[in-house]
Every structure is written in structure tokens, then in C-alpha cells.
Structure 1
Amino acid sequence: MLKSKFFVCIFCLTLLSSCVSREEMVYFQNLDQIGRGTDHLTYNNLEIKPNDQLAITVSADEIEAAMPFNLPYVGNSLGGQPGEVRIGGTPSLQKYLVNSQGEIQFPILGSVKVVGLNRKELSSLLETKISDYIKNPIVNIQISNFQITVLGEVGRPGTFTINDEYISLPKALGLAGDLTIYGKRKNVLVVRESIDGTKEHAYLDLTDAGIVNSPFYYLQQNDVIYVEPNGPQIQSASYNRNASVYISIASVLISLAVVLTR
């Protein structure tokens, strides 16, 4: 009888310790209460920062007239006969590096201040300047080194390159394999470096659909996301690795004691 009560107690304690409420796990729980009007929080507002690498192409009605405003494509150098250089592989467009002064060196135009502008603003600025030389220029811009880093309690932590420059917090977590069962969903940290080099941060609650209104919901280049482990996971880090063995031995000894004292 004593033995039966013992195992019943153990079973009940296990059930109680494993219970997790819906409010702690489910994402975007009050989504129906979120209104519209968050269109301004889009990736189009990304500001260009120092050390960004920009892929810029210029086109126009007359293709040849636009060529001087484009950097040449480069490929891999292949060895040949002495004094011979051959180009192989897939050519790639050279990039403009934004220097510490927030400028790029653009063909014919020279130094152009780009830091603090978004892609649309920079496109308009370059089109205006280039229109002094050619008719109807069209400028396309992409931030080629757009990366985000996801750390902590996720399935696949790491640094990810974003090709289309559009990345929300849930999408970034999806790239990292989503949160593990041990990750805190109500306290996800986003760290961002501003143009002047200072750090900003915010803690976002994934269970609250209101995070779509946060300026940190859409990520910017070089943002870092950190998912903190929950309480039980932190406590488990201090456990002895042989604890499970000790518990098994203790269970056998207790069971044996119960049988012998019956």
C-alpha cells in the first residue's frame, strides 16, 4: 500500500511540473484586436549605415549612355600561360562600401553622402544627379550584406544573409528553426546598432500580437536576436550530469526499502 502511494505521488508531481499554460506558449494571442495602420513599419524604411555594401545598377533608355555610371563586373582569375589572364566563373557586380563618413565613391559623380537615407531616397537622389548627364535614368539599389543573427534557445542559432532585405522577427526565428520548448516567448531581445554606433534594444513578447506595432518587429541589417532560456532550463544547467543516474539508484533503493519493510 505504501509503495502504491509513493508512485502515485511521484506521478502527480510529474504531471504538475509539466503543465504549461496556453498563454505562455501560443504566439499572437490577441491578433483580432490589432488594427490596421502599420504600413509605415516596413522594410522600405531601412536606413543605410556605415559599412553597408550597396549593389547599385543604373539603366536608361540609351544603354550605352548609362554604362559609365556602373561599376564593371568581375570574375575569378584563372591561371593560363605566362603573362595571360583569363576570367572564368560567374561574373558578379562590384559593390559600393559605405565608408565611416557615410559616403560612397560613385563613378563620374564622385563622393555621395548616403548614410541615413533609405533605398528609395538614395535612388531618387542618384537619379536626379545622373539626369544632368543622361535622360531618364533608373537606379536600383540593394544592400548586399544584409545579415541578422539569432542566438539562444532556437533550433538552429546562427547568422543569416537576407537577400530581399525584408525580414520580420517571426521570419527570422523561423529561419533559426523556431524557439525550442525551453525558450522564453515573452522576453525576446532584439539588439540594434544605430547610425552613430550606439546600441538600442527592445524586449518583445511573441505571445502578444501587439508586437507588430513595434519598430523592432521588422529587422534591420546586423540586428541580433537573443532568446533567453526559461527558469527550468537555467536551473538544469547547474545540475550534475550524473543526476539522472543518482536518481535511478535512489529510486531502486527506495523501492527495495518499501518491499523489505512490508
Structure 2
Amino acid sequence: MNLRRYMICGAIGLAAFSCTPRQEINYMKDIESVALDNSIKNSRSTLQPGDQLIISVSAKDMDVVKPFNQNYSSSTTITQYSMPSSNNLPQQLPVSGPTYMVDTDWNINFPQIGKVVAKDETVESLKTKLVDLISKYVKDPAVDIKLVNFKISILGEVSRPGTYVIPDGNTTLPAALGLAGDLTPFGIRKNVLIVRNVDGKFTQERVDLTSAQFFNSPYYYLRQNDLIYVEPNEVREKAARIDPNTGLYISVASVIASIALGVLALTKK
């Protein structure tokens, strides 16, 4: 009887040890009560030094805009996003066109026009600026701009941590977490850290994903080279400190206990 009592107590202890405390995993519970108008002003990030742009100019007469499409590069392939913790291959996206790099002074050197200041410009506003400049030489030009090296890093308690390249240069925090396979059950949703480099200075912000208030945060829309870190909860931290062979020990103990109970049952007969 004593042995059986010990075995029952041990089983209860193992069950209690394996249970994960319930935590809040809902997102944006109060979204209906939050005004989202303020988020519009943060919907586009400004260009930064090192941004790689593919800029194409078109018009009814394509021969007229040929001088504005110099520096044309052959078709290249970029990685749309990487998934180092997944067995799936990264998606590939072929892109081609005249390529320009925003230099350390926030300028690009555009053919026929010369230096164009890109500081404080978004992709859309730079497009408008180039249309205005080219309109001095060409009637009704159209400009297309792609930001092809927009990268973010997602680390911590997500399903697929890694560095992701966003071809259109525009993404939100929820969308980025979706690329990473969402948070694991062990991720703290009320304290997600975002580290951002603004003009050479690092800033950081803590975001509560369970509240729709973060829609109004300047960190809702991500920017070039943002780093997102999801902290583990106490359960994960405690598990990391446990001997990795604990599961093996428990399995062996269970087998020994089963054998002992069998022997005890036979001896009673």
C-alpha cells in the first residue's frame, strides 16, 4: 500500500510539473474602443542610408525616357524572406531595373538630374519628387520605385526566428510576426521589444500585443533593420534551467515503477 501511495503521489507531481500556467494570449482585445486615425501618419517609413532602390521611368514614348533609365542592371534574384528554423525553402523573387543606393548623406545620383535628396522621404514621396523633376523634360512621366533590401530581424519566442527581407519595404508588426510563424505559447505578449536605429541612434519600445493601443505607436509600422525580440515567460526560463535529461530520467522512473507495481501484484497473489 505504501508503494502504491508513493506512486500515486509521484504521478500527481509529474502532472503538476508538466502543466503550463494559463497566460493571456489574446491580441488587441479592445480594438473596437481604440481610434486608429493616428496610425496613418506612421504608415510609411522614411528612406535610410544603405537602402537599395530600383527606379524605373516610363512614358507613352519610351525612347524619350531612355536617358532616365541608365544604370540598368540585369535581372537578379532576391530572397523574399529567410526561415532558418523551417524546412521550407525561402521564397525567391526576381527583380530587375536601374538600381540606386541611398548614400550616407541621404542622396541618390539620378541620371540627367543629378543629386536627389532622399532624406525624410518615403518611397511614395520620392516617387512624387522624381515625377516633378522629370516632368521638366518629359510629358506625363510615370515613376516606379521598389525598395529591395528592406530587412527586419525577429528573435526569441517565435516559431521561425530569423532575418526577413520585405520586397515592398512596407510591413507592420503583426504582419512580421506572422512571417515568423507567430509567437509560441511561451512568448510574453504584453512586453514585445522593438529596437530601432534612427539616424545612427538606437531607440527601443515595449509593445503590448494584447491591447489595440499599439496601433497608434510609431512602432506599429516597422522600419528598415528593426529588431523584434519576444521574451520567454517564466515557464520557458525554468525549463531552460532543467537538466535536458530530465525527460529520460522520468521515463526510466516510470518503467521501474510499472515493474515494481507488477511485482507487487504478483506477490499478493
Give the equivalent residue in structure 2 for 1:83: none
Q: Is 1:148–1:224's contact at 8 Å kept on the other side of the alignment?
A: yes
CA distance in 1, matches of 2:257, 2:45: 63
2:150 to 146, 149, 159: 146
Distance change in 2, residues 1:18/1:41 (3 Å): farther
Aligned counterpart, 1:165: 169
| Alignment TM-score, normalising by the size of structure 1 | 0.80
Give the drift of 1:145.
Answer: 0.8
Q: Map 1:125-204; keep pairs closer than 5 Å.
A: 125-194=129-198, 196-204=199-207
Residues 1:166 and 1:11: Cα distance change in structure 2 (over 3 Å): farther
Whether 2:110 is the aligned partner of 1:106: answer yes
- Residue deviations 1:112-140, cap 9 Å, x none? 11122112221222222222222222222
Residues paired across the two proteins, number: 245
The match for 2:215 is 212
What secondary structure, in the 3-state scheme, does the structure 1 residue paired with 2:241 have? coil
Letter in 2 for 1:29: K
1:28 deviation in Å? 1.8
Query: Which deviations, in whole Å up to 9, do the C-alpha atoms of 1:174-221 show, x marking residues without a partner?
Result: 111111122211221111111x21111111112222221111111112
Note the alpha carbon deviations across 1:118-177, whole angstroms, 9 max, x for none.
Answer: 122212222222222222222222211112111111111111111222311111111111
TM-score by length of 2: 0.78
1:29 aligns with 2:32: no
CA contact (8 A) 1:60 1:66 kept: yes
Contact 1:74–1:91 (CA under 8 A) maintained in structure 2: no
Give the drift of 1:2.
Answer: 4.7
In structure 1, the gaps of 5 or more residues are 77-89
Task: Give the aligned partner of residue 18 of structure 1.
Answer: 19
Matches within 5 A, 1:39-50: 39-43=39-43, 45-50=44-49
Aligned counterparts of 2:170 and 2:211: Cα–Cα separation in 1? 22
- Work out the CA distance in 2 between the residues paired with 1:182 and 1:36: 29
| Cα distance between partner residues in 2 of 1:19 and 1:34 | 32
What is the match of residue 84 of structure 1?
none
Work out whether 1:225 is the aligned partner of 2:253.
Answer: no
In structure 2, give the amino acid aligned to 1:50.
Answer: P
Q: Distance in 1 between matches of 2:130 and 2:99?
A: 16
**Cα distance change, pair 106–171 in 1 and its aligned pair in 2 (3 A):** same
Q: Which amino acid aligns with 2:233?
A: N
Q: Distance in 1 between matches of 2:5 and 2:119?
A: 70
Relative distance call for 1:235 and 1:116 in structure 2 (3 A) is same
Unaligned ranges ≥5, structure 2: 76-93
Matched, 1:238 2:247: no
Residue type of the partner of 1:25? I
Retained in 2: the 8 A contact 1:73–1:91?
A: no
Question: 1:80 aligns to what?
Answer: none
The answer to whether the Cα contact below 8 Å between 1:98 and 1:115 also exists between their aligned partners in 2 is no
Percent identity of equivalent pairs: 39
Partners of 2:30 and 2:243 in 1: CA distance:
41
Q: Is residue 2:119 matched to residue 1:115?
A: yes
